[in-house]
Amino acid sequence: MSTILNRDTGAERIAPASVELKAGVDGISLPDPLGFGNLMAPIMALAYYRDGAWETPRLTALEPLQLAPHAQALHYGQAIFEGMKAYRNLGALFQSPSLLFRPYDHANRFNRSAARLGMPAIDEEVFVATLEQLVAHLDKLVPDRHAQSLYLRPAMFGVTDHLSVTPSTEYCFVVVATPSDAFFTTPIKAWIERRYSRAGAGGTGCVKAAGNYAASFAAAAPLREQGFQQLLWLDANQRTHLEEFTAMNVFVRWEGKLFTPPLSDTILPGITRDSLLQLAGPLGLVMEERPIAVAELLAAIRAGADIELFGCGTGSVIASVEALGDETGMRVNLPPAVVAPTLRKHLLDIHHGLTPAPKGWQWPVGTRKQA
Ligand code: PLP
Ligand code: COI
């Protein structure tokens, strides 16, 4: 068994994930169309936190977990997750077969989510090494096509079987994987949500708490039947300004600039959002973080202004919005996207190793320096 070295210092950190496999990936063929989350990889990574320490994550067959019916996460929602991707390396910049996108940034956000919910941190090196090892084992399930990926879902939840309203003392860390298309492959319709809120000041909106998503389900379900795929949330206090979509940050192209709402404790600091902000300058785009008033935006769209709206996130990459609606019966169509397709292609080229990117964004799987 080899030893993992710290990415910056080269110092020895931990033993890598041990392997305990009862399942293989041979013989699995990818469905066409692939869709999202339809085929779960038969192998997952798993580790438990007990007596104040994490055990070494291991790869094991994807099978149901044993969980007490009074496990903490089931009653009090002490559960978090991340959404990440491994892309097939389609370029010549790296030697490895696949690339993780900004894995240390996801590890860091995972730990911020954990801290917010009173959960233990997991060593970032262990987190990334575990993902690398999982992806290496699942290499046959990393799709070869541009824009497809092996979607990775690290999650952590409290498993202590006690009903006291206190943090769990035992946790489960699991990473499951699914070869997938982007969530949205065509422009979407978004519903401006005026009744419910996603996040309140001081709440958990700025981390990936599982409950944030459950809280959107009641609002979203009836809208899906009307063809709306995402809720576009407004600030909880005034309901006047855009915050983000249920699973994406929001950008608006308006008067030659790209705007996105500034981060706050009610907006998830998206890694895709940050990537776009960093790429704007080199791509000759002017991007600004600034509050976006929904009334002003709708008035401008109705007046025929040249406006483009899109969401961005790991699962979706970049999804253009073709129409907006809300409970007042308001319906507006947006003109065809101009910038979003260019940004999407550029970002995907980075994901697939076809275009260079800032250090740490393209993380080659399987080339970690070994002791
Ligand atoms: N906002 C929310 C609420 C999300 O769930 C996501 C997806 O993870 C995003 C934004 C985009 O974040 P990222 O780009 O890090 O995937
Ligand atoms: C992702 O984009 O990866 C996410 O985690 C969003 C999730 C709600 C599906």
In a domain, 46, yes or no: yes
Q: Which residue has the tokens 């609002």?
A: 219
Distance CA 303, CA 215 (A): 34
pLDDT band at residue 13 under the 50/70/90 scheme: very low
Angle at 169 between CA 81 and CA 105, to 5 degrees: 30
Task: Let me know whether 73 and 203 are in one domain.
Answer: no
Please tell me whether residues 139 and 267 are part of one structural domain: no
CATH number of the domain encompassing residue 27: 3.30.470.10
Q: Is the pLDDT of residue 326 over 90?
A: yes
> How many domains is the chain built from?
2
Give the residue, by CA position, lying nearest to ligand 2 atom 2: 315
Q: Whose CA is nearest to atom 3 of ligand 2?
A: 83
Any domain includes 350: no
The kind and range of the H/E element at 333 are strand 331-333
Residues 178, 34 share a domain: yes
Number of C-beta neighbours around residue 48 at 10 A: 15
CATH number of the domain where residue 279 is located: 3.20.10.10
107 found inside a domain: yes
Q: Are residues 106 and 212 in the same domain?
A: no
Closest CA relative to residue 190, chosen from 267, 241, 239, 246: 246
Do 228 and 316 fall within a single domain?
Answer: yes
Same domain, 13 and 145: yes
Residue 127 in contact with residue 154, Cβ under 8 Å? yes
Q: Is the same domain home to 178 and 201?
A: no
Tokens of 180: 């997938």
CA 367 centroid distance within chain? 24
One domain for residues 193 and 314:
yes
- Ligand 1 centroid to Cα of residue 26, in Å, is 32
pLDDT tens figures, 168-180: 999 999 999 999 9
Query: pLDDT tens for residues 115-143?
Result: 999 999 999 999 999 999 999 999 999 99
* Same domain as 207, residue 172: no
Domain contains 156? yes
Asked if residue 347 belongs to a domain, the reply is no
Rounded to the nearest angstrom, the distance between the alpha carbon of 21 and the centre of ligand 2 is 27
Q: Is residue 351 part of a domain?
A: no
The amino acid occupying position 282 is: P
H or E element in which residue 28 lies = none
- CA–centroid distance, 281 to ligand 2, in Å, is 26
Ligand 2 centroid distance, CA of 176 (Å)? 13
Q: How far is CA 173 from the centre of its chain?
A: 17
What six digits make up the tokens of 212? 């944030």
**Eight-state DSSP code of residue 142:** S
Q: Are residues 119 and 256 in the same domain?
A: no
- Residue 324, classed as helix, strand or coil, is strand
* Single pTM value for the model: 0.95
**Of the candidates 61, 107, 115, the residue with the CA atom closest to the CA atom of residue 84:** 107
Alpha helices per DSSP H over 171-293: 210-225, 271-280
Residue 44, domain extent: 3-183+357-364
Verify that 243 and 312 share a domain, yes or no: yes
- Ligand 1 residue neighbourhood (C-beta within 6 Å): 83, 244, 247-249, 268, 270-273, 313-314
Question: Is 151 inside any structural domain?
Answer: yes
Question: Among 13-22, 90-99, 185-194, 276-285, where is mean pLDDT lowest?
Answer: 13-22
The answer to whether the CB of 213 is under 6 A from ligand 2 is: yes
- Domain-embedded: residue 164: yes
Which positions ≥6 away from 345 have C-beta within 8 Å?
A: none
Q: Specify the pLDDT at position 154.
A: 99
**Which residue from 12, 206, 208, 14 is spatially nearest to 123, judged by alpha carbons?**
14
Six token digits for residue 218: 């009641």
Contact predicate 154/110, CB 8 Å: yes
Residues 206 and 246 both lie in one domain: yes
What's the rounded mean pLDDT across residues 203-210?
A: 98
Ligand 2 atom, smallest distance to 213 CA: 8
Q: How far apart are CA 341 and CA 147, in angstroms?
A: 12
